[in-house]
Chain A
């Protein structure tokens, strides 16, 4: 095992999958000679050549459209959307074609493709470089949505996504790329899609999060422990299909749940998690379900103070968790 950053884990994951399976290739804006704007594919162009690491035109509908065509024909494409914010031009391809292809062909065709997209804020990226898109796409049946928060999960889930027979939207939180470091197991270390993970055991309340908010929640749990409050931290890892059993189990265990995400509030993932708990763990609840999210404003502000106000941070999560603990 070695300590790695999230970006290193993702680069390694792509490298190993491309080495393992010649049908795996990468396409996206600047992924080739430049190695990707975040250097996720740094070195891969040199190693695998221009036919397997393809610099696309600046047209997301093309990136995804090419990937769909290739996948139908037996390839396993990894399509990179430079920033999740830029995915809108490809939505028609993703929703109308990719998500429904298997259904439309009555199972005759699968689309084994991965769409990688750096998402999330906290990097002064403002309107066009900070968005959270998970709730929008998780609503679409036929798509899988993955949002790892640690290097090991990023690599393991990327491998699972590449090998999955269906389209997977693979969300990489750009703030975690170099911020979050952790042990990454040697060898394959595949992490199955659809399994949440308890990142910290606790008994008094549960914090449910994913992406960057996972890191924040773990810091909050540490602070709560100093106050004698034992918090469990559940990392969703996969947003869809969501791990209902793990969510219900932690809710039953602690009876108090706070869901945290940096996506906006209305019809966000927290709402879905809370609904699952209400359906399956009502009798175990000892407090109203709580959520801490970004407010329903159009986009992440650029101004530092406003960005801080928009995104949940450790202080606000801690305050909310204490409110829940005291209930």
Chain B
């Protein structure tokens, strides 16, 4: 028997959501064959089977989020297939409901010896002396121990995990049970009234919800808008877009041009290419621009890494590639990590003023709104028809103030308005 654990699919990733089991209990699996699809931080990753054998048991249901290192399935190795491995009798509630097992009197039911020992000790990592001492001092039972989630490397139970457990255990049972349930699975809300439907939450929806909530609860957003005359950009793009498409195979949209302008703006105001931390503002060396892409069931923000080293043509290709792969759910973990600033393009859908929410730990997000022809007063007090666009910046007011934000927008605006054939595409 080998246990399959939730893999760590990237630095700083602490948990993953089972999106889809590609094999069912009883299925033969080959080594490296796709076993399960996992979603972390909005990316799908297929996890291969670590060895050949038969999938014996699925420990974590689809849609459930567990921490890295948690056992998610058990595979019986094919070498041992002929050996008389006893099928483990199912203990009611053991896998799905560890809470019930602990608090309900059903625990008194005799547990067959092999069940008690096989999964609980062999598959667990060793306990450190400090943990053993705590277990003894606080009379923690095997069953209680099995319910403690390890936060250490590979799910190891650390001293702190046990201390936390002891503290939790001291609280009233009801509160305890409820708390654990909430951690294991989101608490169900009230049932939908007749005639209404309740759409189950996808992992992506959940992820967006928690990120946005965290952002609005922790970041004091400030919002400011600049109006940009895009006529030069519009004219230039119109001139070159066909030849560009022919030459490069991708469309020259406004997005890479705006991203280029943003990069120039961030270079002028490095304080915006930064992250807040309690003991200082971290200024990022690279400029990695996240570009929001709308997909079927939500939104995803792949990242153009080191955008400051790219030409407009390079940005166009990179953004096109990321957007394509985002829609095909083919992004890698690296593709969605490390953004230092985000550009959002709600203007495609006709909006003229957008208040975007910052994606932590970034300090800002810029929304490009629709380019619309409007009569404006130009030099010499004449009225002319110009292609106008609003650039809306949400920024973390802890990191910088309105003056810097305005200077950034000014830089972006000047760069765009001064656009000409002289600006190199490459």
Q: Which residues from chain A sit less than 8 Å from chain B, CB to CB?
A: 204, 222, 225-226, 255, 282-287, 326-327
Contacts and interface: CB of A to CB of B under 8 A. Distances in A.
Interface stretch (B123-131, B231-239, B392-400): B123-131
B158 interface: yes
A326 B279 contact: no
Given A226-B279, A283-B133, A284-B133, A255 B128 contact: yes
Nearest to A282: B129
B152 A283 contact: no
Given A255-B128, A255-B130, A286 B153 contact: no
B159 interface: yes
B277 interface: yes
Contact of B277 (A226, A282, A285): A226
B153 A284 contact: no
B131 A286 contact: yes
A288 to B, nearest CB: 9
B278 A226 contact: yes
Contacts of A282: 129
B43 to A, nearest CB: 23
Contacts of A286: 128-131, 158-159
B130 A285 contact: yes
A177 to B, nearest CB: 29
A327 B156 contact: yes
A284 B156 contact: no
A226 B282 CA distance: 12
A327 B158 contact: yes
A225 B277 CA distance: 11
Interface centre among B132, B159, B278 (most CB of A within 10 A): B159
Q: How large is the interface on B (under 10, 10 to 19, 20 to 34, 35 or more residues)?
A: 10 to 19
A222 B280 CA distance: 12
- Give the one of A255, A284, A285, A286 with max B CB within 10 A: A286
Contacts of A226: 277-280
A283 B133 CA distance: 7
B158 A285 contact: no
A204 B159 CA distance: 10
Q: Which are the 7 A-B pairs with shortest beta-carbon distances?
A: A286-B130, A286-B159, A255-B130, A286-B128, A283-B129, A226-B279, A285-B129
Contacts of B129: 282-286
A283 B279 contact: no
A283 B129 CA distance: 5
Interface in B117-156: 128-133, 152-153, 156
Interface string B99-132: 0000000000000000000000000000011111
Contacts of B158: 286-287, 327
A255 B159 contact: yes
Contacts of A287: 128, 158
19 contacts: A225-B279, A226-B277, A226-B278, A226-B279, A226-B280, A255-B128, A255-B159, A283-B130, A283-B132, A284-B133, A285-B128, A285-B129, A286-B128, A286-B129, A286-B130, A286-B131, A287-B128, A326-B153, A327-B156
Contacts of B131: 286
Contact of A327 (B133, B152, B277, B280): B152
Given A226-B279, A255-B159, A327 B130 contact: no
B13 to A, nearest CB: 13
Contacts of B280: 226
A318 to B, nearest CB: 14
Contacts of B152: 326-327
A285 B128 CA distance: 7
Nearest to B278: A226
Given A255-B130, A283-B130, 4 more contacts: A225-B279, A226-B277, A284-B133, A327-B156
B150 to A, nearest CB: 11
Nearest to B136: A283
Nearest to A223: B279
Nearest to B280: A226
A286 B153 CA distance: 12
Contacts of B156: 327
Nearest to A203: B160
A282 B128 CA distance: 9
A284 B277 contact: no
B124 to A, nearest CB: 15
Nearest to A323: B153
Contacts of B132: 283
Contacts of A285: 128-130
A294 B156 CA distance: 30
Contacts of A204: 160
Contacts of B277: 226
Contacts of A326: 152-153
